[in-house]
Amino acid sequence: MRMAVLLLLALAPLAVRPSIQAPTETTLFFDEFSGPTLDRSRWNVVVTGRTVNNEQQAYIDSPDVFTFLSGDAEGASNGALVIRPRYRAGFTTPQGRRFDFVSGRAETSGRFEFTHGIASARIKLTVGAGLWPAFWLLGGGPWPATGEIDIMEHVGEPDWTSVAIHGPGYSGNTPVASRIPADPAQGLASWHVYAVEWTSQAMTFTVDGRDVYRATREMVERYGAWAFDNPKHVILNFALGGAYPRSVNHVDEPYPGLSPVAIDLIKQDEARFVVDWVKVVAAPGGVPQ
């Protein structure tokens, strides 16, 4: 009997101790691309009027470029967006510019914008020098004064992606940037979650939950004004060739920054930027804005 009473007394504190729960997150935006078309209440599709960075594609609004995986195909969960560049020799834009490639760019400008939070996406890439998909945030207004946060850029190299921050005094070939080595056991053609936690004092970039780069307000303000307390929208795009890829692969012909390997992948419909989902949540302890 004495042993039973002692046992009950020992267990009593466990019975009344409150459970510890993980803090709940406030979701500001979520799209899992269940298809069969892009949700136009969330996304705008950009049609090329002009190009920048000497990119070699025209952006178009077409199901030929924006396609979808259904269900759990290829390891996606409940569908995925696939941006597929296409070879279209002599394609002419409404402005009369000619391109041999078309591709896609979707953004949330005017539909969803936020100030501070955690933006993430589950992504699968194609390796081929000069393929240039990106997941990024951009402020509305003149560039670079309203700021740009590049969460994931890939110029087709097999062993790294990059992150970067652009603003007044640190745009273009910005000093606030880093190449992120790929996991050699998985590679970039596997699924990875790329994210940034953006606050009023810093940006912390992660891959699969692992911190890979951090830029503080103090670091940024060594070069120019902090441009990251204003609303930004989400962009997914697949550029081809141009200045940044060329600075890495040094390809000039037949298209600047676009390698023959990448061209063959496009022609064979094997160049793909696959996005399982995009999510934005409020920063821990932050107030949705």
> Could you report the per-residue pLDDT of 247-282, keeping only the tens digit for each?
999 999 999 999 999 999 999 999 999 999 999 999
* Average pLDDT of span 186-191: 95
Give the percent of the chain with pLDDT over 90.
83
The mean predicted confidence, pLDDT, of the chain is 91
Nearest alpha carbon to residue 30 among 108, 109, 103, 104: 108
Q: What is the pLDDT of residues 21-36, one digit of tens each?
A: 345 789 999 999 998 9
Tokens of 2: 């004495």
Q: What is the mean pLDDT of residues 56-79?
A: 94
CA dihedral over 220, 223, 227, 232, signed as positive or negative: negative
CB 166 within 8 A of CB 148: yes
Report the alpha-carbon distance of residue 172 to residue 169 in Å, rounded: 9
| Predicted local distance difference test score (pLDDT) of residue 286 | 58
- Which CATH code is given to the segment(s) 28-281? 2.60.120.200
Q: Does 2 have pLDDT greater than 50?
A: no
**Which pLDDT does position 23 carry in this prediction?**
54
pLDDT per residue over 212-249, tens digit each?
999 999 999 999 999 999 999 999 999 999 999 999 99
pLDDT of residue 95: 86
pLDDT at position 25 is 85
Give the whole-angstrom CA distance, residue 163 versus residue 170: 14
| Three-state SS annotation for the chain | CHHHHHHHHHHHHHHHCCCCCCCCCCEEEEECCCCCCCCCCCCEECCCCCCCCCCCEEECCCCCCEEEECCCHHHCCCCEEEECCEEEEEEECCCCCEEEEEECEEECCCCCCECCEEEEEEEECCCCCCEEEEEEEEECCCCCCCCEEEEEECCCCCCEEEEEEECCCCCCCCCCEEEEECCCCCCCCCCEEEEEEECCCEEEEEECCEEEEEEEHHHHCCCCCCCCCCCEEEEEEEEECCHHHHHHHCCCCCECCECHHHHHHHHCCCCCEEEEEEEEECCCCCCCC
Report the 10 Å Cβ neighbour count for 119.
Answer: 23
Predicted local confidence at residue 231, as pLDDT = 98
Q: Does residue 178 surpass a pLDDT of 50?
A: yes
* Better-predicted residue by pLDDT, 288 or 131: 131
Report the largest interatomic distance among the alpha carbons of the chain, rounded to a whole angstrom: 94
User: How high is the pLDDT of residue 164?
Assistant: 98
Is residue 166 very low, low, confident or very high in pLDDT (cuts 50, 70, 90)? Answer: very high
242 is written with which tokens?
Answer: 């141009």
